[in-house]
Amino acid sequence: MKKILGISALLLAICALTAALNDDFLGVYNIQNLFRWTSLFGIIITGGIDLSIGSVVGLTGCLMPVLVIQQQWPRGSCS
């Protein structure tokens, strides 16, 4: 529990300092991006995901654009 509180306090301190130094930090897009990456790394740091699974996800994320563009795999539809 102390580890989670320490990480949270450090994150809040860094966000407060960055917001004070940069006016664009509190933009809507940046806040959404911040929450997205913080949640991902928060799960990894607190031990909620095995890093070997993270490496497979990273490899897949790097390999899919190559397969879609160079090998002309069909692109999925979001609708």
pLDDT in tens, 25-51: 888 888 888 888 877 777 766 666 566
Whether 52 maps to a domain, the answer reads yes
Whether 79 maps to a domain, the answer reads no
Residue by residue, what is the 3-state secondary structure of 42-73? HHHHCCCCCHHHHHHHHHHHHHHHHHHHCCCC
Whether 76 maps to a domain, the answer reads no
Whether 75 maps to a domain, the answer reads no
Residue span of the structural domain in which 45 resides: 2-69
Q: How confident is the model at residue 13 (pLDDT cuts 50, 70, 90)?
A: very high
Residue 77: pLDDT above 60? no
| pTM confidence score | 0.45
* Number of domains, the chain: 1
Whether 54 maps to a domain, the answer reads yes
